[in-house]
Structure 1
Amino acid sequence: MLDAFFNSPYIDSLPTLFQGLKMTVLITLIGLFFGFILGAIVGIARLAKSKLIRGISVVYIEAVRGTPILVQVLFIYYGLTEDLIGLSINALTAAIVAIAINAGAYIAEIVRGAVYSIDKGQSEAGRSLGLTESQTMRYIIWPQAFKRMLPPLGNQFVISLKDTSLFSVIAIGELLYMGKQYYNVTYEIFETLAMVCVLYLMITVPASIYLRRLERKLDV
């Protein structure tokens, strides 16, 4: 029985699928790294006193959240041609930029909500200690807000990880694309896609369990 399982199409597809899984995780982690930086800047900008800065941040958030990530990655890869921007964008770069821009809009709202949820008395306490507005944000508000951001940031990781499956349209070698490449040769469609699902679940299920435990631990 075990010999039959280990010699089955399910197992045979794994070397190819693991290549795609590594690419999926790479795109997700690098994209979210830059997405967090972008989201933190835009999220804080949403709380700025300047109407212009707030307006620019709102336009970015609404434009990104109002369009599908599939359209965004196609626009980046095919729309931003070398003649237009002076740079040649390869599929991997386009995928990472799409994740960063897309996740950044959602992270911006996570950041804004977390910072806004901190009691205003904390800001007043910082001022009473002689801290500037930026110092108050850095040393008092941000550490407390970041704690509240962790669970939704984890959820964004899961969402962005699954979004990478759409990047097969630009022939990036992520998990689903590699699965398609494999079953186009072997015609083992059911077995291959079943293993694709299993590999996604191997990441998303533990991540979801960890996030629930983190929420209970942080009591947020």
Structure 2
Amino acid sequence: MIGIIEVYGSMLLRALGQTLLLTLLSLLFAMVIGMIFGLMNVGHNRVLNLIGTIYVDAVRGVPLIVLAYFIYFGVPAGMQGLGFASFRLNALQAGTAALSMNCGAYMAEIIRAGIESVDRGQMEAARSLGLSYSSSMALVVIPQAVRTMIPSIINQFIITLKDTSILSIIGFPELTNVGKTIVGNTLKSLQTWAIVGVMYMVVIVTLSKVAKRIERRVNRGR
């Protein structure tokens, strides 16, 4: 095991960095997607409600591995069929898109639940002061909802971090994919996957502790 760390330690650390980069990019885009569709689902426009519901149900109903294959192989093939012969997506772009769409669907539900957890009287009070619906949502409701959403958002970050391992199937050089390469070079499966597992565990346990601490602070602040 020590020999693997000495020879492949830098490669594993780079792969961990790639995993964290993919997770952060995906969570950033997922927040935008989640906010858009979450607001659609809490609004009073039935058309927007329907669009938001269809997106959330459709994306959550498709396995991430299928979504990754669709974006990495299917979308370029479709674009080339439309005449865009040079259209390509690299593994980072396709992986970020797949994770963002998948995570965004769950973020939409987190945001919807967070907004609905705020007492309706807050919106009514803001509207009675002359604020528009959008201003009331942005200035009054969402800031209160964020306090409720933060622990769930961190938990979703952890889930997304673990889901990056699925993207080894499209060749993205994240931690699991590099682990496969090391096993192929050394034939030391037990030691390699033990190292990879510990690296995942250290990051995820750290994030879990942060989530619990934030949740305790939020609960004390109420």
Report the TM range for the smaller structure's normalisation.
Answer: over 0.9
Per-residue CA distance 1:56-115 (angstroms, 9 max, x = gap): 111110011111111100100011124146331111100000111000000000000000
Structure-2 separation of matches of 1:22 and 1:76: 23
Distance 1:84 1:49, change over 3 A: farther
In structure 1, the partner of 2:145 is 145
Q: Is 1:29 aligned to 2:15, yes or no?
A: no
In structure 2, the partner of 1:93 is 93
In structure 1, the partner of 2:50 is 55
Structure-2 separation of matches of 1:147 and 1:11: 44
Query: Residue 83 of structure 1: which of 63, 80, 85 is its match?
Result: 80
Residues 74-83 or 100-109, more deviating: 74-83
Query: Residue 14 of structure 1: which of 1, 9, 15 is its match?
Result: 9
Structure-1 separation of matches of 2:3 and 2:57: 47
* Number of residues of Structure 1 aligned to a counterpart in Structure 2: 215
Q: Which amino acid aligns with 2:179?
A: G
Contact 1:183 1:192 in 2 (8 A): yes
Alignment of 1:134-173 (within 5 A): 134-173=134-173
Give, in angstroms, the shift of residue 28 of structure 1: 0.4
Query: Residue 36 of structure 2: which of 32, 41, 49 is its match?
Result: 41
Contact 1:77 1:91 in 2 (8 A): yes
Question: Percent identity of the aligned residues?
Answer: 37
Q: Is 1:66 aligned to 2:61, yes or no?
A: yes
Structure-1 separation of matches of 2:109 and 2:122: 21
Structure-2 separation of matches of 1:27 and 1:37: 16
Structure 2: gaps (5+ residues): none
Per-residue CA distance 1:165-204 (angstroms, 9 max, x = gap): 0111111100000111111011111111111001101110
Structure-2 separation of matches of 1:19 and 1:186: 19
Give the TM-score normalised by structure 1: 0.94
Per-residue CA distance 1:123-166 (angstroms, 9 max, x = gap): 11101211111111111001000111100000000000000001
Alignment of 1:117-136 (within 5 A): 117-136=117-136
Per-residue CA distance 1:5-58 (angstroms, 9 max, x = gap): 7x4334433222112111100110001100000000100000121211111111
Q: Secondary structure at the match of 2:42?
A: coil
Q: Which amino acid aligns with 1:140?
A: V
Give the TM-score normalised by structure 2: 0.93
Q: Secondary structure at the match of 1:63?
A: helix
Contact 1:13 1:192 in 2 (8 A): no
